[in-house]
Amino acid sequence: MERKAAAQRTGVIIFAVLMVLTIVEYFIGAVENPSLVLLFIVALVKAALIVQFFMHVARVWREESH
């Protein structure tokens, strides 16, 4: 049960971080001359978080325990 609660807590934290990054991305894009480099960096960070935590790519590299 503790493991499930920790996974849910991690999911909520990652969701909040993605929400903050989306807001940052919006404000970067809303300025007169948006920095494409900053937008690209934010997009890469968001993509990495999604792949790591929601697509469970880390499991691919772990040994299976039976």
Arithmetic mean of pLDDT over the chain: 90
Q: What is the pLDDT of residues 2-58, one digit of tens each?
A: 888 988 999 999 999 999 999 999 999 999 999 999 999 999 999 999 998 888 777
Supply the angle between the helices 2-30 and 36-49 in degrees, to the nearest 10. Answer: 170
Q: Read off the pTM.
A: 0.80
pLDDT score recorded for residue 57: 77
Amino acid symbol at 58: A
Q: Which of 39, 48, 49, 41 is nearest to 17 (CA)?
A: 49
DSSP state of 34: -
Q: Distances from the Cα of 25 to the Cαs of 19, 31, 51, 61, in angstroms?
A: 10, 11, 19, 31
pLDDT score recorded for residue 66: 55
